[in-house]
């Protein structure tokens, strides 16, 4: 690792093959915590390159525990995290709304590293037991229309650096990898990114692989459609900027979509929203992200149709039912 660090400290970047090899060695615990921290720190001081991102991603996918699910048209709604906004778990809430609407969801998530409550934290607090096998995941998918893949169970490298990431408490390049390495390989992906530079990296990578994607970015730094300011939505066919009004809502105050200060508080807010007791602002951000996801699948009509379907899922208890079936399973 010493040679690698010296190379990088001299303002060089890694090739794809170098990045892949290093990530494999990190997963194999060939470096101590100090060495890995130093390596991660380099990417806190400069942006990751496309070749580095490709190499890290290839390594994670190569080492991932294989998953065989009985679906070929699922969707994942996921953010990079690390936007520092401490919002409610919008993409996870939207995932249950989408599942309740009839679209299968293969959600990939993890514990919060740079935030209090990641998707794994909130689901665990609500009583969900993480599943490790394809058989168990398929059972959840059949019953609840959604399954949840807890990232450390399927990615040895993420497991090996989990404690280190949490102790750092900072956004690292691992945040960028999570949305790109769902072992379920969903057909559709809605990915929230915290800045436009990262959006360009993702856009280039996903277009080269001919993947079906939507990238969303709140222009004031959110990794989702926040409705607090305009949002940029990028697809294979182009990109547009939308105001809250364009998307059928009033602008939202950022204070009104904050998470709790503890995992337990955030989990209670999460449950309240799915029980139909969310505030107007909380409901709005969940619904708009769910509607964009439904639109992406091209199964539910226009955006307005998708918004109607999302509202039915949330307010008629379908989203809550998906959560209950998942937890009870």
| Statement to judge: residues 177 and 309 lie in one domain | yes
Helix boundaries (H) for the chain: 2-9, 16-27, 33-45, 50-63, 90-100, 119-125, 134-144, 151-154, 156-168, 173-177, 196-208, 263-272, 280-297, 303-315, 318-328
Q: Tell me what pLDDT residue 84 has.
A: 78
Q: Is 198 annotated in some ligand binding site?
A: no
92 is in an annotated binding site: yes
User: Is the domain of 110 the same as that of 59?
Assistant: no
Q: Is 82 a known ligand-binding residue?
A: yes
73 labeled binding residue: no
**229 and 93 housed in the same domain:** yes
> Given the DSSP bridges, would you call strands 212-218 and 231-235 parallel, antiparallel or unpaired?
antiparallel
Q: Is residue 68 part of a domain?
A: no
In a domain, 217, yes or no: yes
Is 171 marked within a binding site? no
Q: pLDDT per position in the chain (329 positions), as tens?
A: 889 999 999 999 999 999 999 999 988 889 888 998 899 899 889 999 999 999 999 999 999 999 999 999 999 999 887 777 889 999 999 999 999 999 999 999 998 866 778 999 999 999 999 999 999 999 999 999 999 999 989 987 777 676 777 677 767 888 888 899 999 999 999 999 998 999 999 999 999 888 889 999 999 999 999 999 999 999 999 999 999 999 999 999 999 999 999 999 999 999 999 999 999 999 999 999 999 999 999 999 999 999 999 999 999 999 999 999 999 97
Is there a domain that residue 69 lies in?
Answer: no
The answer to whether 119 is a known ligand-binding residue is: yes
Quick one: pLDDT at residue 143? 98
Instruction: Quote the pLDDT of residue 113.
Output: 66
Of 254, 257, 318, the closest CA to residue 282 belongs to 257
- The confidence score (pLDDT) of residue 210 equals 85
CA distances for 221 relative to 239, 248, 249, 254, angstroms: 17, 21, 19, 11
pTM: 0.94
From the CA atom positions of the chain, what is the Rg in Å?
A: 19
Q: Which residues, in sequence order, are bridge partners of residue 56?
A: none
Question: How far from the centroid of its chain's Cα atoms is residue 126's Cα?
Answer: 19
75 annotated to bind ligand: no
DSSP secondary structure letter of residue 49: P
By residue count, the chain amounts to 329
Containing domain of residue 146, as a range? Answer: 75-328
87 is in an annotated binding site: yes
Cβ-contact 18, 56 below 8 angstroms: no
Q: Is 91 annotated as a binding residue?
A: yes
Instruction: Tell whether residue 89 is among the known ligand binding residues.
Output: yes
Q: The domain spanning residue 322 has which CATH number?
A: 3.40.1030.10
Residues 39 and 127 in one domain: no
Single out the residue of 328, 220, 282 nearest to residue 94, CA to CA: 282
What SS3 class is residue 241? Answer: strand
How many structural domains compose the chain? 2
Q: Measuring CA to CA, which residue among 194, 172, 163 is closest to residue 83?
A: 194
CA dist., res. 222 & res. 226, Å (int): 7
Residue 91 and residue 54 share a domain: no
Q: How does 215-228 read in b/e, with b if 16+ C-beta sit within 10 Å?
A: bbbbbeebbbbbbb
Q: How many CB atoms lie within 10 A of CB 151?
A: 26
Maximum CA extent, the chain: 59
The confidence score (pLDDT) of residue 114 equals 62
Residues 170 and 231 in one domain: yes
110 annotated to bind ligand: yes
Which pLDDT value is given to residue 8?
A: 92
Residue 76 assigned to a binding site: no
Distances, alpha carbon 3 to alpha carbons 42, 114, 128, 150, in Å: 14, 29, 44, 34
Separation between Cα atoms, residue 283 and residue 289, nearest integer Å:
10
């Amino acid at each position: 690792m010493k040679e690698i660090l010296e190379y990088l400290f001299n303002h060089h970047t890694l090739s794809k093959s170098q990045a892949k090899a290093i990530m494999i060695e990190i997963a194999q615990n060939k470096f101590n915590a100090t060495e890995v921290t130093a390596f991660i720190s380099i990417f806190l001081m400069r942006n990751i390159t496309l070749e580095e991102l490709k190499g890290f991603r290839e390594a994670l996918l190569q080492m991932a525990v294989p998953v065989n699910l009985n679906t070929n048209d699922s969707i994942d709604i996921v953010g990079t995290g690390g936007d520092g906004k401490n919002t409610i778990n919008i993409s996870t809430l939207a995932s249950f709304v989408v599942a309740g609407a009839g679209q299968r969801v293969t959600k990939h998530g993890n514990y919060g590293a740079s935030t209090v409550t990641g998707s794994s934290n909130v689901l665990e607090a609500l009583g969900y037991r993480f599943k490790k096998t394809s058989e168990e995941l398929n059972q959840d998918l059949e019953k609840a229309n959604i399954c949840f893949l807890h990232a450390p169970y399927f990615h040895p490298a993420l497991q090996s650096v989990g404690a280190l990431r949490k102790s750092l408490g900072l956004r690292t390049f691992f945040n960028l990898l999570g949305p790109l390495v769902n072992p379920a390989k969903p057909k559709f992906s809605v990915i929230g990114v915290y800045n436009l530079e990262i959006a360009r990296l993702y856009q280039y990578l996903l277009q080269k692989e001919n993947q079906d994607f939507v990238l969303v970015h709140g222009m004031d730094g959110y990794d989702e459609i926040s409705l607090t300011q305009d949002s940029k939505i990028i697809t294979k066919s182009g990109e547009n900027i939308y105001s809250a009004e364009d998307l059928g809502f009033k602008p939202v105050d950022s204070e009104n979509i904050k998470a709790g200060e503890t995992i337990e508080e955030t989990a209670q807010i999460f449950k309240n929203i799915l029980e139909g007791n969310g505030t107007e602002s909380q409901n709005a951000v969940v619904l708009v992200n769910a509607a964009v996801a439904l639109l992406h699948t091209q199964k539910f009509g226009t955006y307005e149709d998708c918004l109607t379907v999302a509202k039915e899922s949330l307010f008629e208890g379908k989203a809550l039912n998906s959560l209950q079936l998942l937890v009870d399973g």
